[in-house]
Each structure stands twice: as C-alpha cells, then as structure tokens.
Copies of this chain bind each other. A is one copy, B any other.
Amino acid sequence: MSAGPGRENEKRKERALQRRSQRREQILLAAKKVFSLKGYHDCSVSDILEEAEIARGTFYLYFPSKRAVFEDLLDQMFAQITGAVRRIQLGPDVPSELEQMNGNVLRIIDVLESNRELTIILLREAVGLDADFDQKLSAFYGRLSAMIEGALRLGQSMGLIRECHLPLVSYCVLGSLKEVMLQRLTGKSPRALSREMLAQEILRFNFWGISSRESDQLPGRT
C-alpha cells in the first residue's frame, strides 16, 4: 500500500531468510550437543530431532542428510580455528615473534575451549568416519600444518628456528597441540592449568623440547 509491494516482498524475504537461518542454527546446536555426547555413529537423526524439538521432515528441509549437519559443524570448527591463527608480522611496531606465537596459541586454546563439544567432535569423532570425511580432515590439518611450516620457514630465514625437516616438524607441532588439547577437554581435571600456563608450556615444549641442555648429542650423529 505505502512503499510498494516490492519493499514488502523484500522485507518478507529477509525475515524468511532470518527465520531459516535461525532454524538451521537450532538444528546445528542440537546436533552439536548430541554428537559430542554419544558420537556421530551412536546418535541417530531421531536424537537430533528430539534435542532440537522439531519434526523429522523439518530436519530434511534444512539439511540434505545427517552427514551434512556433521560436515557443517566441522566446517564451523575449521573456520574458527583458521580464524584464530594470525600470520606472524615482522616489523618495528609489532610484538616479538614469540609473543605473536603465544597469541596464536592462546587464541587457539580459547577457540577450542569455548567450543568444547565441537572440539571433541573434531578430535575424536571426525576421525575415521569415512573416506570423504577423512579427506576433508586431512585437507584441514594439511592446511594447518602448511601454515605452521610457513611460520617455521620464516623463523628459519630469521635465524630463530633451527634446521629441521619442516613438514615433519610441522606435524610434530600440530600433533602435540592436538593431543594436549584432547586430554585437557576430555580429561577429568580439565582446568588444572590456566590457559596462560598451558600456552606457555606448549610453547616451551615446541621451542625447546624437554632437554635441559643444549649440548646433548643425538646418538649416531656425525
């Protein structure tokens, strides 16, 4: 009547889209909960429906399959973690490289801890589900490890990082982080350490390892 039907239509559409997105979120939330509780395989679509308090058909209105929901959750996690990692900046007006790394680790810890359920899903459930998921996971970890590798290479060029097999060491770094966080999130005493201490310990381990001396010699080395 007033501003024309076009406007009305647009508004309606927008509101519809918003509602749609809310519903999606509601389902994702429910799925996240039940997946992290009982695992992907041990949880049926019915479990999600019950948790989300929606009907069977509604679910398939928003997701093409149970798998798709899981994939979506995984992608959320990928995005958040990727977002937590910042490239190391060089220059006079930025914090030291170590401090920047510390920031990265802290942010990752924050993301993982504030998404405990999703993290557990990522670290436990998502592994070995099927070939497709595995590939997706591999790709993600591959990207992460590539980022680490890039940082290490940069560090090497600056003389901060020692000579080493970068791809391998990248995965060492990645692995130590994953395992520690999994233990922290699933273990009985999840907050024995503050996140700052945790970050520090992780960084220490990755930078200086466990040795108390630098002069140790590996056996069989010329």
Chain A residues packing against B (C-beta within 8 Å): 38-42, 95-96, 98-99, 102, 123-131, 134, 138, 152, 155, 159-165, 168-169, 171-180, 183, 186, 193, 196-198, 200-214, 216-221
A212 CB to closest chain B CB, in angstroms? 4
CA of A218 to CA of B199 in the docked complex: distance in angstroms? 10
Q: Is B200 touching A206 in the complex (CB atoms < 8 A)?
A: no
From B41, B128, B165, B169, contact of A124 by CB (8 A) = B128
Distance of A217 Cα from B204 Cα, bound (Å): 9
In the assembled complex, how far is the CB of residue A206 from the closest CB belonging to chain B, in whole angstroms? 5
Contacts of A125 in B (CB 8 A): 127-128
* Apart from the given pairs A124-B128, A172-B176, 9 other A-B contacts in the complex at a CB distance below 8 Å: A39-B131, A41-B41, A96-B219, A98-B217, A175-B177, A203-B218, A204-B218, A207-B216, A209-B209
Closest to A102 in B: B219
Closest 3 CB pairs of A and B: A175-B179, A172-B176, A209-B209
Tell whether A99 pairs with B209 under 8 Å between CB atoms, given A128-B39, A165-B201: no
Within 8 Å CB of A152, what residues of B? Answer: 210
Q: Are A179 and B169 in contact (CB under 8 A)?
A: no
Q: How far is the CA of A211 from the CA of B197 in the complex (A)?
A: 19
**Contact A208-B205, Cβ < 8 Å, known A130-B42, A160-B213:** no
Nearest CB in chain B to that of A156: its residue: B212
A116 CA to B142 CA, complexed, in Å: 20
**Which chain B positions have C-beta within 8 A of A221?**
200
Across-interface contacts of A96 in B (CB, < 8 A): 219
Contact A219–B134 (Cβ < 8 Å) = no
Q: How far is the CA of A175 from the CA of B182 in the complex (A)?
A: 10
